[in-house]
Amino acid sequence: MASILIVFSTREGQTARVVAHLSDALNGMGHQVLACSLATRFAGSPESYDAVIVAASVHSGDHGRRVAAFVKRHRRVLNSRPSAFVSVSLSAAALNTVAAKAAKTQAQSFLDTTGWRPDSIELVAGALRYSRFSRPWRWILRFAQRRFSGELAESGWPDLTVEHEYTDWDKLSAFARRFGQLLGRGRRGRAALETDADA
């Protein structure tokens, strides 16, 4: 089976949870997975692995300079072997069509900027943890949540005391199986954004 490097960047911790889920799923398929946070300097090289997954969260429409720098630095290696990009955002949870398209746009913009052409792109819905923000920010985020959540129409304003997790873990498991099978076949596909908005 394949050796897989998962490099990730996270702020509130949801992307780390996503990576842990992917690692468990891929390890369960018999692959050997190393997950490495870019919060600590990555001293190795992706060249030592059969495949690479890069996961990053989106904040203010941006995946962050640290992960962009990593991809640019190792672009040649990433483009030479099976790879996948996992973009974690609230936009990926959108019910609103305009907001949902933002998830695709953000991911494609990152790839265009870095010059990376992964075999697979997965748009993953993140989480909104009000408890980690100051009171003013909670109210700002409460208004922002109206863009992508049907919760307002169904049950009134979002509850500021509740942690809102939108990640579809079953869908993430399906992505892990597809990527793991891709490695098992030894074939590379062409990167394509998911057509469904809640990827």
- 123-179 pLDDT tens trace: 998 887 666 666 666 566 666 555 555 544 444 455 556 677 889 999 999 999 999
- What's the pLDDT band for 193 if we cut at 50, 70, 90? very low
What does the pLDDT read at residue 153?
44
Average pLDDT estimate for 185-194: 47
Count CB neighbours of 158 within 10 A.
20
Return the percentage of the chain with pLDDT > 90, whole number. Answer: 51
> What is the rounded average pLDDT for all residues in the chain?
81
What does the pLDDT read at residue 165?
81
pTM for the whole structure: 0.81
Cβ 116 vs Cβ 83: under 8 Å:
yes
What are the CA-CA distances from residue 121 to residues 97, 106, 132, 156 (Å)?
Answer: 19, 12, 29, 34
Average pLDDT estimate for 28-48: 87
Cβ 41 vs Cβ 77: under 8 Å:
no
What does the pLDDT read at residue 147?
54
What does the pLDDT read at residue 111?
96
SS3 24: helix
- What's the pLDDT band for 3 if we cut at 50, 70, 90? very high
> DSSP letters along 25-43, please?
HHHHTT-EEEEEETTS---
* Residues near 127 by beta carbon (within 8 Å), at least 6 away in sequence: 12, 14, 163, 164, 165, 166, 167
Q: Rounded to 5 degrees, what angle do the CA atoms 27, 123, 112 make?
A: 110
Average pLDDT estimate for 107-112: 94
Average pLDDT estimate for 96-105: 77
Domains and CATH numbers, the chain: 3-126+166-185 (3.40.50.360), 131-164 (no CATH)
Strand order in the sheet with 51-57: 32-37, 3-9, 51-57, 83-89, 120-125
Q: Rounded to 5 degrees, what angle do the CA atoms 160, 166, 169 make?
A: 145
Average pLDDT estimate for 3-32: 94
